[in-house]
Structure 1
Amino acid sequence: MNIYDGHIHTPYCPHGTKDSFHQYIERAIKLGYQAMTFTEHAPLPQGFEDPTPDKDSGMQLENLENYIEQITQLKKEYSEDILIHTGLEIDYIEGFENETTAFLDRYGPYLDDSILSVHFLKTKSGYHCMDYSPDVFGKILEECNSIQDLYSLYYNTVKKSVNADLGAYKPRRIGHISLVMKFKNKYPNVDINKNEILETIDLIARQKIQLDYNGSGVNKPLCREPYPPDWIISEALKRNIPLVYGSDAHRAGELGQGFGELKQEAPLTHPI
């Protein structure tokens, strides 16, 4: 494939598989990857209670140093075969900006690359992991007046993440900005407010940050398209936003997923 994959999970993911780092790397080499970033779900901010049933949205803080050390060793082991970067997928959670900044101040110096993503939405009843399941998405929808309002809640949160001051080590790439569309075949939005999405894209362009061009949505049964879809990618290209392919693999066999479904004329960027 001769590609860079900037969004890969690991055996440290509590809701993924236990496929080893070596399995991921050997698979990447077999596929012809030139480079890869491991971006495990970072520990959730101090004081934030994970709303998912198994409390498994992020890795445990006590495992983080081992995670970094393991990747450091793997960089040396595979130095002649593939370029490996140390990264994290950081959750932007509204109201926990200070805690997130403190975490990044502490661990940011050890990271080569990172992603800032929105998985959690705040409603009157509390926080919800939006992409956890169709049922959870439906419960959030019940609190909103319409599917349009739920999309607005998501994109307003993404815009807050782009604008947030998270310190010197704030991630320079925004993750899967159409994640709200993960269950679109069950909860269709036939009247998408494209302006609020374009406003989000404009903010990303002004901040001169990258966009995660995420292939995992192709294999989600209620989505079946990349995050984001072609029309959003076309708008990103008009604004010269760098696109970084991400498989968002949670098992070694998912490396490369969705790559063939990406917009063919979209140039892909190495994030570093």
Structure 2
Amino acid sequence: MKRDGHIHSPYCPHGTKDSFEQYIEKAIASGFTDISFTEHAPAPEGFLDPTPERDSFMTIHEFETYVNELKQLQRKYHNQIRIRIGIELDYIEGYEIQTTAFLKKYGHLLDDAILSVHFLKYNGTYTCIDFSDEVFIAFAKQVGSVEAVYQLYYDTIIQSIQADLGMAKPKRIGHPTLIHKFQLAHKETINDDTQVQTVLRLIAKKGYELDVNSAGLSKKYCLESYPPVSYITLAKELQIPLVFGSDAHQASDLHNYYDDIMK
């Protein structure tokens, strides 16, 4: 089986408008037999997107249309490729009740889901930690240091893994070292080995899957997968189920670095 389990879509407000068919046809041509569209789920009720364009999430109406369109495409391509209807769900500290309510109402529509952390809470406000290097560096000054941001990120990842979000909670943890995205921009060497190992061991203990995400390899300030190769090896040793994800936000990025990751 050749699988890509983390793919965005024309419903991504900050991505391309490449059609579902462009992604699907490329996947088929590349020999993939199983793909998951994991578009950013709607924001939890009451959460205000802190990004300038407020384009981090689908709306509820878009989500319902997204699901219906993918159901039609499942029928159209059922003899050629398995298409899973999924979401990338944000864990946002303080919005667990709203997130659980969303999953309770809509979880039955999903074939797949990823639980990720993009937003960090500090002094009552939220920052999208992977938005830009400028935002990251400014946030580090606010928090006190780059190392403190790393610690806050891993603390939030651990909260996401431990959170009770109901029966429909995603069982795959998305890009758990996303905090490395701007490591070549802030130019500090942060030893986060203990935190990464703690996260992986907790994933193993919970019986969750790991999103082995190749997107960081194409980010100019990162140049490594999420997580890096050494931790993919550790995850295998811990017998964590691994799911490759290209995290493609346009069809041209689909399956990027698949062969490198699979080695």
Q: TM-score, normalising length from structure 2?
A: 0.97
Give deviations 1:152-199, integer Å, cap 9, x for gaps. Answer: 000000000000000000001000001000011112342413112211
Query: 1:78 corresponds to which residue?
Result: 77
**Contact 1:230–1:263, Cα closer than 8 Å, also in 2:** no
1:186 is matched with which residue?
185
Which range is displaced more, 164-173 or 253-262?
Answer: 253-262
2:113 is equivalent to residue 114 of structure 1: yes
RMSD over equivalenced CA pairs, Å: 1.1
* Residue equivalent to 1:57: 56
Q: How does 1:22-101 map to 2 (within 5 A)?
A: 22-101=21-100
Aligned residue pairs total 263
Larger mean CA deviation between 163-172 and 224-233 belongs to: 224-233
The alpha carbon displacement at 1:261 in A equals 2.7
The match for 2:239 is 240
Q: Give the letter aligned to residue 217 of structure 2.
A: V
Per-residue CA deviation, residues 207-243 of structure 1 (Å, 9 max, x unaligned), is: 0000000011111111111111012112211211111
Structure 2 match to 1:19 = 18
State the SS of the aligned residue for 1:186: helix
Task: Tell me how far 1:151 sits from its aligned partner.
Answer: 0.7
Letter in 2 for 1:142: K
Aligned pairs for 1:102-141 (under 5 A) are 102-124=101-123, 126-141=125-140
In 2, Cα distance between the equivalents of 1:263 and 1:191?
27
SS of aligned partner of 1:245: strand
Gaps of 5+ in 1: 265-272
Q: Cα distance, 1:93 vs. partner?
A: 0.2
Residues 118-267 of structure 1: pairs in structure 2 closer than 5 A: 118-124=117-123, 126-262=125-261, 264=263
Change over 3 Å in CA distance of 1:259–1:139 after alignment to 2: same
CA distance in structure 2 between the aligned counterparts of 1:84 and 1:169, rounded to whole angstroms: 19
Deviations 1:59-107, CA, capped at 9 Å, x for gaps = 1111111111111110010011100010000000000000000000011
Tell me the SS of whatever aligns to 2:61. Answer: helix
CA contact (8 A) 1:225 1:261 kept: no
Unaligned runs of 5+ in 2: none
Residue 125 of structure 1 deviates from its aligned partner by 5.6
TM-score, structure 1 as length reference: 0.94
Q: Which amino acid aligns with 1:199?
A: T
**CA distance in 2: counterparts of 1:9 and 1:59, whole angstroms:** 11
Large movers: runs of 4+ above 4 Å: none
What SS does structure 1 have at the residue aligned with 2:235?
helix
Percent sequence identity over aligned pairs: 47
Give the whole-Å Cα distance in 2 for the aligned partners of 1:16 and 1:136.
Answer: 19
1:183 alignment partner, SS class = helix
- Which letter maps to 2:54? K
Cα pair distance change 1:263/1:112, threshold 3 Å: closer
* CA distance in structure 2 between the aligned counterparts of 1:197 and 1:212, rounded to whole angstroms: 14
Quote the Cα distance in structure 2 between the aligned partners of 1:65 and 1:224: 35
